[in-house]
């Protein structure tokens, strides 16, 4: 059952983790999507005066930037906008030895959806954003708040050392379907709650297309796996989820360290 006091519990948890670390506040990326909007509002509740939201477009849709600013204005969240589009394009050209990717990105850093997008290229964007987040975290003695939810973390739908790089994950045990209810309770604008989740890699790209199923089906499977009762679940989708969980296990573990026998 959805806990009615979930927002206050998460905000309290954020405050406790930051205080334990001896930090002064929190910084997080605000993409205009549901995850970052919910996380930002919870952070604001925990640290009314020391919450910083970074809006970091990188070939992003104008409406996403608009939505991020909308949430920041509604809840009084301090923000800084850093356009990474040009840096992304320049960095990609520096990294590529040949010219085979010359036309993969336009001047604004948008990736052409019609090509076989190299995952290394796609992951540059969240890793550039991570650099900015930790710059301000270091500068202000803040902790970096990750915005990933349980649905995405469990199947590895995040970039390692990109959007997966964080000091705390307040939504890490909250399913996407639970997050929508939490967003409504917090007063997040309906246009953000209702729009299709997207990483914004190309026009029309959605998270659910990339995952291969809707979040309702995904969360139903997670709950079924936890209860041990898979009746009513599509066996093929269950197998798909299990494969994604297994393949992404390395993303959720600490870095393996070789141990000498002494």
Q: Please check whether residue 104 is in contact with residue 111, taking contact to mean a CB–CB distance below 8 angstroms.
A: yes
Residue 78 forms beta bridges with which residues? 52
Which of 78 and 195 is assigned the larger pLDDT? 78
pLDDT > 70 in the chain, percent: 88
1-30 pLDDT, tens digit per residue, is 566 799 999 999 999 999 999 999 999 999
* Domain assignment present for 260: no
Q: Provide the whole-model pTM.
A: 0.89
Please tell me the total count of domains within the chain.
1
Please report which confidence band the pLDDT of residue 115 belongs to, taking 50, 70 and 90 as the band edges: very low
168-203 pLDDT, tens digit per residue, is 999 999 999 999 999 999 999 999 999 988 766 656
* Domain assignment present for 218: no
* Domain assignment present for 69: yes
- Determine the pLDDT at residue 98: 58
* Domain assignment present for 238: no
* Domain assignment present for 239: no
- Determine the pLDDT at residue 28: 98
* Domain assignment present for 249: no
**CATH number of the domain that residue 19 is part of:** 3.40.50.620
47-56, 112-121, 149-158, 221-230: least confidently modelled range: 112-121
* Domain assignment present for 224: no
* Domain assignment present for 23: yes
Which residues constitute the domain of residue 192? 6-207
């Amino acid at each position: 059952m959805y806990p009615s006091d979930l927002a206050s519990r998460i905000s309290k948890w954020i405050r406790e983790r930051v205080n334990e670390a001896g930090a002064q506040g929190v910084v997080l990326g605000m993409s205009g999507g549901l995850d970052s909007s919910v996380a930002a509002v919870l952070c604001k509740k925990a640290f009314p005066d020391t919450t910083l939201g970074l809006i970091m477009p990188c070939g992003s849709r104008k409406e996403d930037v608009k939505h991020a600013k909308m949430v920041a204005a509604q809840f009084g969240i301090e923000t800084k906008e850093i356009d990474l589009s040009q840096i992304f394009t320049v960095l990609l050209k520096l990294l590529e030895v040949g010219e085979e990717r010359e036309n993969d990105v336009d001047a604004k850093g948008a990736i052409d959806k019609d090509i076989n997008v190299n995952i290394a290229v796609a992951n540059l964007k969240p890793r550039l954003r991570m650099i900015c987040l930790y710059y301000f975290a270091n500068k202000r003695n803040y902790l970096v708040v990750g915005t990933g939810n349980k649905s995405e973390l469990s199947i590895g739908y995040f970039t390692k050392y990109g959007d997966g790089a964080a000091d705390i994950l307040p939504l890490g045990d909250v399913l996407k379907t639970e997050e929508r209810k939490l967003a409504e309770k917090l007063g997040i604008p309906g246009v953000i709650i209702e729009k299709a989740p997207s990483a914004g890699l190309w026009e029309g790209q959605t998270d659910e297309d990339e995952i291969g199923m809707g979040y309702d089906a995904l969360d139903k499977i997670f709950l079924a796996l936890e209860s041990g009762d898979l009746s009513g679940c599509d066996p093929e989708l269950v197998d798909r989820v299990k494969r994604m969980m297994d393949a992404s296990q390395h993303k959720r573990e600490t870095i393996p360290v070789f141990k000498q026998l002494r």
